[in-house]
């Protein structure tokens, strides 16, 4: 996939999403005005865009083919759309209406595909067909929609209804995710794999043997966000130590209470609670697959990091590249910049965040279930700003990130450099490449 491909798929996907949400024309029983853009973790092959409609309980995957694609490549795309049905309720093929044949002649790909769909796809498989004209993606046209009758036999399978389309991160240092991915490479057993990978990470990196059965504040093997080693069970150890000093408990009782922090039979403790936040992030940036086995991208990342595992800045640089492209944070940052340019009188963080949230929600970019009663999402973008600040890709205005009447400002030159490095370092493994032509990623 080239940079042009990525940007074009984003533009087409957003246009289709906007139409579903604001117009009747392209809607169906499979998706309607509650359509949202979402993450595509756990899907192989990886789609160009993923949508869901939680009122209809559907997930739809989109495959985009650029105007330079061959007839064979587009038919391969149709095969991918069929494969997507293993992990979605429906899929979409977006193809150029005309392409060059192997002899250099114009070939009416749109007409060929439309006849093929009406003869072999419609009424049998929930796959829709869109076509567009040329490099500038003009005249996006729905040539064959989903057959609504197929919705009656909608397959049921579990998919997350609350995660955003950009990689979801909470609180944990990047070194922790590197060590977790490394654990998944080391652990070969496929039986009860989730527990075994987590146990290896937890008891080798987060809470190694010497930190257990003692109330001494000993370091883990993970570099924290403050650039020093994390201290496992720090708060509970301090509390238990104080209780011992106050003669509330004995030292033996303190150790027994400490053991509850990693007892898998407890309802809640660090051993159980930390797992979700770790696993989701690696899912979203596609460093491992649904079986917790490192992907080609994940293995390439581990191989590169192994050469400089003691250089934390280089580790941050590598993960920043992947986060921006595979984790869709660059797409999300561009949306924030576009919306910010339309907001007048940006004076305080709270009002600015409200306006960002409302605009993103209107576009279908906010993950929420309309059937579930919820309050206003709390601390919107707090985690993202923390992560972007850690990676030095968002600018600071003193102690804050907000700039008066401008909003959040990003280090565009650094971001562009990281994206180019991603395509050079990981393009092959992610099936992406840096195409040098008139379509410049700096634009």
At 59-113, the pLDDT tens digits run: 999 999 999 999 999 999 999 999 999 989 999 999 999 998 877 789 999 999 9
User: For 130-162, b where at least 16 C-beta lie within 10 A, e where not — what string?
Assistant: bbbeeeebeebeebbbbbeebbeeeeeeebebe
| DSSP sequence for 32-63 | -TT-EE---TT-SSPPSEEEEETTTTEEEEEE
Average pLDDT, the chain: 92
**Residues in CB range of 195: below 8 A, 6 or more apart:** none
Which span out of 112-121, 281-290, 419-428 was modeled with the highest average pLDDT?
112-121
Determine the average pLDDT of the residues in 42-48: 75
Distance between CA atoms of 50 and 60, rounded to whole angstroms?
6
pLDDT for 160 equals 66
pLDDT for 192 equals 96
For residue 116, pLDDT beyond 60? yes
φ, ψ at 145 (rounded to 5°): -90, 175
pLDDT for 41 equals 67
For residue 145, pLDDT beyond 60? yes
Task: For residue 437, name the pLDDT band (cuts at 50, 70, 90).
Answer: very low
For residue 436, pLDDT beyond 70? no
For residue 48, pLDDT beyond 50? yes
| DSSP-derived 3-state class of residue 143 | strand
Distance between CA atoms of 251 and 231, rounded to whole angstroms?
20
For residue 441, pLDDT beyond 50? no
Task: For residue 162, name the pLDDT band (cuts at 50, 70, 90).
Answer: low
The CATH class given to the 3-153 domain equals alpha beta
φ, ψ at 352 (rounded to 5°): -60, -45
pLDDT for 439 equals 41
Task: For residue 432, name the pLDDT band (cuts at 50, 70, 90).
Answer: low
Distances (CA, A) of 283 to 20, 323, 357: 27, 11, 24
pLDDT for 350 equals 93
Domain coordinates of the chain in residue numbers? Answer: 3-153, 174-294, 328-371+379-410
Least confident of 85-99, 117-131, 284-298, 365-379: 365-379
pLDDT for 378 equals 53
For residue 293, the tally of other CB atoms under 10 A from its CB is 16
In this prediction, what percent of the chain has a pLDDT beyond 90?
84
Task: For residue 9, name the pLDDT band (cuts at 50, 70, 90).
Answer: very high
pLDDT for 161 equals 63
Distance between CA atoms of 443 and 440, rounded to whole angstroms?
6
Task: For residue 438, name the pLDDT band (cuts at 50, 70, 90).
Answer: very low
Distance between CA atoms of 281 and 299, rounded to whole angstroms?
16
For residue 173, the tally of other CB atoms under 10 A from its CB is 19
Determine the average pLDDT of the residues in 438-442: 38
Contacts 24+ apart (CB under 8 A), 71-78: 71/99, 71/101, 71/102, 71/107, 71/109, 71/112, 74/99, 74/109, 74/113, 78/113, 78/116, 78/127
Distance of CA 267 to the CA centre of its chain: 28
Determine the average pLDDT of the residues in 1-26: 93
pLDDT for 373 equals 53
pLDDT for 442 equals 33
Least confident of 94-103, 159-168, 170-179, 404-413: 159-168
pLDDT for 100 equals 87
pLDDT for 443 equals 36
Determine the average pLDDT of the residues in 169-192: 96
For residue 13, pLDDT beyond 70? yes
Distances (CA, A) of 429 to 304, 311, 422, 432: 13, 23, 10, 8
Beta bridge partners, 407, equal: 403
Distance between CA atoms of 260 and 270, rounded to whole angstroms?
9
Determine the average pLDDT of the residues in 244-259: 97
From first CA to last CA, the distance across the chain in angstroms is 18
Determine the average pLDDT of the residues in 293-306: 96
pLDDT for 163 equals 76
């Amino acid at each position: 996939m080239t940079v042009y491909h990525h940007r074009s798929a984003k533009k087409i996907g957003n246009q289709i999403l906007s139409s579903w949400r604001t117009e009747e024309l392209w809607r169906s029983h499979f998706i309607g005005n509650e359509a949202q853009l979402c993450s595509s973790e756990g899907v192989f092959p990886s789609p160009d865009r993923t949508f869901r409609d939680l009122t209809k309980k559907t997930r739809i995957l989109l495959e985009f083919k650029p105007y330079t694609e061959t007839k064979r490549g587009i038919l391969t795309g149709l095969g991918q759309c069929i494969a997507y049905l293993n992990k979605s309720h429906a899929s979409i093929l977006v193809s150029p209406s005309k392409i060059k044949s192997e002899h250099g002649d114009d070939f009416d790909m749109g007409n060929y595909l439309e006849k093929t769909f009406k003869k072999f796809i419609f009424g049998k498989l929930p796959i829709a067909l869109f076509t567009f004209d040329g490099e500038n993606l003009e005249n996006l046209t729905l040539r064959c929609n989903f057959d609504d009758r197929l919705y009656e036999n909608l397959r049921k399978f579990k998919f997350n209804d609350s995660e955003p389309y950009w990689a979801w991160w909470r609180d944990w240092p990047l070194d922790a995710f590197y060590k977790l991915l490394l654990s998944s490479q080391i652990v070969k057993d496929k039986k009860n794999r989730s527990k075994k990978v987590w146990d290896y990470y937890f008891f080798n990196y987060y809470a190694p043997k010497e930190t257990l059965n003692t109330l001494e504040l000993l370091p883990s093997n993970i570099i924290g966000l403050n650039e020093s080693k994390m201290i496992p069970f720090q708060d509970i150890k301090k509390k238990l130590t104080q209780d011992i000093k106050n003669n509330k408990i004995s030292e033996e009782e303190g150790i027994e209470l400490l053991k509850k922090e990693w007892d898998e039979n407890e309802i809640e403790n660090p051993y159980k609670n930390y797992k979700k936040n770790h696993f989701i992030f690696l899912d979203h940036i596609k460093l491992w697959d649904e079986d917790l086995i490192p992907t080609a991208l994940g293995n390439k990342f581990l191989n590169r990091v192994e050469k400089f595992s003691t250089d934390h800045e280089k580790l941050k640089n590598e993960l920043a590249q992947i986060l921006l492209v595979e984790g869709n944070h660059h797409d999300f940052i561009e949306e924030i910049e576009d919306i910010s340019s339309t907001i007048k009188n940006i004076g305080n963080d709270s009002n600015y965040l409200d306006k960002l949230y409302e605009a993103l929600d209107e576009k279908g970019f906010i993950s929420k279930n309309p059937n579930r009663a919820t309050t206003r999402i709390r601390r919107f973008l707090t985690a993202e700003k923390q992560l972007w600040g850690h990676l030095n890709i968002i600018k600071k205005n003193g102690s804050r990130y907000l700039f008066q009447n401008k909003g959040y400002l990003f280090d565009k030159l650094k971001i562009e450099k990281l994206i180019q490095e991603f395509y050079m370092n990981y393009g092959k493994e992610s099936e992406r490449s840096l195409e040098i032509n008139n379509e410049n990623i700096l634009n």
